Amino acid sequence: MKKALALLLALVMVLGLGAVAYADGVTLNVVTSYGGDDGNRGNFEAAVKAYEASTGNKVNDGSATSNEEWKAKVLTDFETGSEPDVLFFFTNADAEPFISAGKVVSIEEIRAEYPDYATNMRDSMLAVASDGRQYAVPSYGYWENMFVNRTVLSDCGIEVPGPDYTWDQFLADCETIKDNGYTPIACSLVEVPHYWFEFLVMNNGTVANHLDVPVSVEDAAGAKWVAALEDFKALYEAGYFPANTLTASDAETVEMFNQGEAAFLIDGSWKVGYFTENAADLGDFAISYVPARGERKASEAIGGISMGYFITRKAWDDPAKREAAVEFVSQLTSDEVLSTFVTTEVTALINGAKPAGLNPLQQSAADANANITAIAGAVQDTITGEAKADLFGNIQNVVTGKLSARDAVAAAIALN
């Protein structure tokens, strides 16, 4: 009996090995930011499934939610030789370490062998690295703006703000909202203060000089950043952030907004998908405008195309994976697939995306976007990861008075 069992097990192992040896296709290691609660997670999974079905290849999906820790992990993987075959990542300064190390392949080099690669994209909208080459095939752009909870505003007798929303009106509204027992601003200062940082910086400058990075705390850009951090402190001291903003996760504060406990949330276009999937009634929410101060208008926002698909040198140099990687990126950035990801965002597609019918929140975003008069990229994308981690990590120290805004900016500049 034992002999028969041993023989059977041995047979199964041999057959298993044979099956592996003769299996069709290859396994691609793919890392993207379409993980966690990303609104396009479902679309990404569907696109991957379609790719696997059409090619016989397998995708080992290592996607995760995009945050500073995820970015650091991706960069560490490159540095330790554990990079994926295909990476969907930021195309700004964050990608410079692996681009300058020659760990990814340029579009030019890929087109030498695959002339049709990314030809559905406008070349002028592809991100250019510091060496003058283009590496990433963009998916779609993003916008950052203010989400509002209509029910909370209505309970407090406040209208949904329009494109002429001023900072003073906003402060008055926050006070009313607070007096009515709601939290004015849903934001985790300890985890995701960067959306507010962008707009507070722009409120202390202009959309034209938004991307100026300070060289010294004394220069104009430095002064803007210091003023932005002081605005954070003023809002915190006024009690407009959640009571647990220094210990809450981003997921907690977003859910607070979703549950009708908070009125305002600054977030990105990706959050529309989150509310589409998780909100009880999409009609409770609208996309509005971040209140403006100084020379900035509320109709000026943050936006652009910041992410794209990279093929790594490791995959390109592997004859078994080269074609699989090229085909993967081509399929995931085709007009048809990108149209499933896009609702109100810009794309680099020559023919443009053709999203299906919009839900109430997507329509609200489209209406708000129609009133946007100017956009600038996120200035945090132009500084090093170390500087960013230090700056955002110190916001909690600034609002609690443990560190001055000036010292916090100076420390970040020293690391940039």
Partner 1 sequence: MNSMIYKNKKPLLVFLIPAFAFLIVFLYYPFFQNVVNTFLKIGGLGRASQGLNTPWYENYQRLFTDPNMRTALKNTLLLTLCTIVFQVGIALILALLVDTIRVGAQFFRTVYFFPIVISATALGLMFNLIFLYKGGMVNQLLLSLGRLPSEVKPSGKVLVQWLDWKDQAHFLFTMFMPVMWQYVGFYFVILVTGLNNISPDLFEAAALDGADGWKRTRYITLPLLRNVLCTCLVLAITGALKVFDLPWVMFGAGMPENRGWLTGTYMYDQTFNRMNVDYGSTIAVLIVVLGVVLSNIANRVFRPSDDL
Backbone angles phi, psi at 248, to 5 degrees: -80, 150
The residue within the footprint of partner 1, chosen from 27, 180, 209, 416 (CB under 8 A), is 180
Residues 362-401 that bind partner 1 (CB under 8 A): 385-386, 389-390, 393, 396-397, 400
Secondary structure of the chain: what % helix, strand, coil (to 5)?
50, 15, 35
248 binds partner 1 (CB under 8 A): yes
Tell me the Ramachandran region of residue 351: left when phi exceeds 0, alpha when psi lies from -120 to 50, beta otherwise. alpha
| 78/142 with CB nearer partner 1 | 78
Q: Which parts of 263-292 interact with partner 1 (CB under 8 A)?
A: none
Candidates 70-78, 88-96, 328-336, 345-353 — which segment interacts with partner 1 by CB under 8 A?
70-78
78 binding partner 1? (CB under 8 A) = yes
Under rule CB under 8 A, residue 256 binds partner 1: yes
Long-range contacts of 158-164 (CB under 8 A, 24+ apart): 158/263, 160/286, 160/288, 161/288, 161/289, 161/291, 161/298, 162/288, 162/289, 162/298, 163/289, 163/297, 163/298, 163/299, 163/368, 163/371, 163/373, 164/297, 164/298, 164/299
Q: Does 79 bind partner 1 (CB under 8 A)?
A: yes
CA distance 245 to 235: 12
Residue type, 341: F
Give 260 or 377: the residue with its C-beta nearer to partner 1: 260
CB of 155 to partner 1, least distance (A): 5
Element (H, E) at 97: helix 96-100
Q: Where does 203-306 show beta strands of DSSP type E?
A: 262-268, 285-287, 300-304
The verdict on 411 binding partner 1 (CB under 8 A) reads no
166 scored as a contact of partner 1 (CB under 8 A):
no
**257 near 130, Cβ under 8 Å?**
no
Is there binding between residue 89 and partner 1 (CB under 8 A)? no
Q: What is the DSSP letter of 162?
A: -
Contact between residue 63 and residue 98 where contact means Cβ atoms under 8 Å apart: no
Q: Which stretch binds partner 1 (CB under 8 A): 73-81, 228-236, 327-335, 365-373?
A: 73-81
CB of 140 or CB of 232, closer to partner 1: 232
Kindly tell me which of 247 and 334 has the beta carbon lying closer to partner 1.
247
The reply on whether position 156 binds partner 1 by CB under 8 A is yes
CB 227 within 8 A of CB 395: no
Q: How many residues bind to partner 1 according to rule CB under 8 A?
A: 36
Out of 75, 93, 158, 263, the only residue in the binding site for partner 1 (CB under 8 A) is 75
Q: For residues 166 and 290, what is the distance between their CA atoms, to the nearest angstrom?
A: 8
**Residues of span 188-207 touching partner 1 by CB under 8 A:** 190-191
Contact flag: residue 132 with partner 1 (CB under 8 A): no
Nearest to 307 by CA among 381, 257, 376: 381
* Complex with partner 1: residue 267 or 390, whichever CB lies closer: 390
Rounded CA separation 321/324 (Å): 5
Least distance to partner 1 from the beta carbon of 190, Å?
6
Q: Which of 238, 246, 366, 374 binds partner 1 (CB under 8 A)?
A: 246
Nearer to partner 1, 77 or 231 (CB): 77
Distance of CA 135 to the CA centre of its chain: 19
Residues contacting 234, CB < 8 A, separation 6+: none
Q: Which CB atom, from 31 or from 248, has the smaller least distance to partner 1?
A: 248
Binding site for partner 1 (CB under 8 A): 68-69, 72-73, 75-76, 78-81, 97, 155-156, 179-182, 190-191, 243-244, 246-248, 252, 256, 261, 385-386, 389-390, 393, 396-397, 400, 402
